[in-house]
């Protein structure tokens, strides 16, 4: 049989790890998501007195020294710490040691802004004390590829290694790229996801100045309101998500637990605006349709969509239009919800954390709610699972991620039937 007629290598999920505003392990994240709990509160990371926005979805209870040496922790920006810990949790969950087959194991970890915490600290130091006091590790701590690099260093992977920097789509983009690495035979196992630590004075000020953030400072838990008529922007979040993707036969040979199959991925671009989405939804719909086509699914096969759902005025409406274009008449039958109503918008980590939640929706036949959706926008007229989680059969589910600059990614997960 020629290479062109070889059956496509199937890709399955065998491990998952998260660091999130709702918990630093998968079980806690899932329990709190389906309970409809918010991870949004007043910013504690810095003095926000002079800021327009005082709220964020911060990670609480994070202890990197469970997985990293103290000396290593000091040499990593927070986003890299998040990335390594999420990957280590996923490694343990998959019961797979990358060092057992390092050259056939790789990693793709995305980040939208990289080491913003370190950059902010070092700029302050430069202005106060001059260039001679600058940390010699500034550059390797802040560059966005370092989350991926540190995952490889700590876990011992020696296969394909790359980093996506596609804004809010970076985590999903990383998973999509890792999927193709395995499909074309360049690796058997890939650690894939995204990490972000943007909650700094400059990060919050920048997004607030762009009028992207909610200013419901007096109502933190009610501030993130995807698809609601009262939405006024997203709540900035942070964290990391990582999934272990594995070629199916490799997973079966080692008797791995298989959560679900990553059956299809789709990518497209808007070519429309620096920050605003294609308002027609057609560009985003192309990513959705490409993912379903690769998975061999019809629109009617899709039971659930984990929405990008940021709670911005333009973004939510554009996503609704995209779903209608991609699914046609089935758009009004599919169930949809936004995890960002609870974890905020974790930028480059969002798609990865949401991929974990989407896999668990398939596994448990339970879809998390969209909290704070009490007054639906008339233009957002689909089934957004308001307020309470829903038990439902989910054999196939999609996760959407749409990033600044017009980066669109859709992942389609399917129940694994053996």
345 part of the active site: yes
Distance CA 152, CA 155 (A): 5
Tell me: do 172 and 144 sit in the same domain: yes
Q: Which of 48, 250, 345, 407 is catalytic?
A: 345
Distance CA 36, CA 275 (A): 29
Position 1 in a domain: no
Tell me: do 402 and 282 sit in the same domain: yes
Tell me: do 243 and 293 sit in the same domain: no
Per the structure block, which two tokens stand in for 308?
């990008």
Q: Which of 48, 250, 308, 407 is catalytic?
A: 308
Tell me: do 42 and 146 sit in the same domain: yes
Tell me: do 304 and 204 sit in the same domain: no
Quote the distance between the C-alpha of residue 168 and its chain's center. 8
Tell me: do 93 and 192 sit in the same domain: yes
Tell me: do 299 and 366 sit in the same domain: yes
Per the structure block, which two tokens stand in for 64?
């990197």
Per the structure block, which two tokens stand in for 24?
């630093």
308 part of the active site: yes
Number of domains in the chain: 2
- Structural domain of 337: 263-406
Tell me: the pLDDT tens digits for 10-55?
999 999 999 999 999 999 999 999 999 999 999 999 999 999 999 9
Tell me: do 267 and 242 sit in the same domain: no
Tell me: do 201 and 330 sit in the same domain: no
The answer to whether 356 and 18 have CB atoms below 8 angstroms apart is yes
Tell me: do 268 and 185 sit in the same domain: no
Q: What is the CATH number of the domain that holds 104?
A: 3.40.47.10
The answer to whether 335 and 390 have CB atoms below 8 angstroms apart is yes
| pLDDT digits (tens), the chain, 418 positions | 444 557 789 999 999 999 999 999 999 999 999 999 999 999 999 999 999 999 999 999 999 999 999 999 999 999 999 999 999 999 999 999 999 999 999 999 999 999 999 999 999 999 999 999 999 999 999 999 999 999 999 999 999 999 999 999 999 999 999 999 999 999 999 999 999 999 999 999 999 999 999 999 999 999 999 999 999 999 999 999 999 999 999 999 999 999 999 999 999 998 888 878 889 999 999 999 999 999 999 999 999 999 999 999 999 999 999 999 999 999 999 999 999 999 999 999 999 999 999 999 999 999 999 999 999 999 999 999 999 999 999 999 999 999 999 999 999 999 998 7
Position 258 in a domain: no
Position 125 in a domain: yes
Tell me: do 195 and 279 sit in the same domain: no
Tell me: do 247 and 295 sit in the same domain: no
Q: Which of 165, 168, 242, 380 is catalytic?
A: 168
Distance CA 115, CA 128 (A): 20
């Amino acid at each position: 049989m020629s290479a062109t007629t070889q059956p496509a290598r199937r890709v399955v999920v065998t491990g998952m790890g998260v660091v999130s505003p709702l918990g630093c392990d998968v079980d806690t994240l899932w329990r709190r998501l389906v309970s409809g709990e918010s991870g949004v509160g007043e910013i504690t990371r810095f003095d926000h007195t002079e800021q327009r926005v005082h709220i964020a979805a911060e990670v609480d209870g994070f202890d990197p020294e469970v997985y990293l040496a103290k000396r290593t922790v000091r040499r990593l920006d927070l986003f890299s710490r998040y990335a390594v810990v999420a990957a280590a949790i996923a490694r343990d969950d998959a019961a797979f040691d990358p060092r057992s087959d390092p050259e056939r194991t790789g990693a793709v970890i995305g980040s939208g802004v990289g080491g913003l915490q370190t950059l902010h600290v070092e700029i302050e130091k430069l202005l106060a004390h001059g260039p001679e006091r600058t940390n010699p590790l500034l550059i390797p701590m802040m560059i966005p590829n370092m989350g991926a690099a540190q995952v490889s260093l700590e876990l011992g992977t020696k296969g394909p290694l790359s980093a996506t920097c596609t804004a809010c789509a970076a985590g999903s983009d990383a998973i999509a790229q890792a999927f193709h690495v395995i499909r074309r035979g360049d690796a058997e196992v890939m650690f894939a996801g995204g990490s972000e630590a943007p909650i700094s004075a400059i990060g919050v000020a920048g997004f607030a100045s762009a009028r992207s953030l909610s200013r419901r400072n007096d109502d933190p838990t009610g501030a993130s309101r995807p698809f609601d008529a009262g939405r006024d922007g997203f709540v900035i979040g942070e964290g990391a998500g990582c999934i272990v993707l594995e070629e199916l036969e490799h997973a079966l040979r080692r008797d791995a637990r298989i959560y679900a199959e990553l059956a299809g991925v789709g990518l497209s671009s808007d070519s429309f605006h620096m920050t605003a989405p294609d308002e027609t939804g057609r560009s985003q719909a192309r990513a959705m349709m490409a993912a379903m086509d690769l998975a061999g699914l019809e629109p009617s096969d899709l039971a659930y969509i984990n929405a990008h759902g940021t709670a911005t005025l333009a973004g939510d409406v554009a996503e609704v239009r995209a779903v209608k274009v991609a699914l046609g008449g089935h758009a009004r039958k599919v169930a949809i919800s936004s995890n960002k109503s609870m974890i905020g918008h974790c930028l480059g980590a969002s798609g990865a954390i949401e991929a974990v939640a989407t896999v668990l929706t398939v596994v448990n036949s339970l879809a998390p709610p969209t909290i704070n959706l009490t007054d639906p926008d008339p233009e957002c007229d689909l089934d957004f699972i308001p307020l309470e989680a829903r038990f439902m059969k989910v054999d196939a589910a999609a996760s959407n991620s749409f990033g600044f600059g017009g980066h669109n990614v859709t992942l389609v997960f399917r129940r694994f039937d053996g």
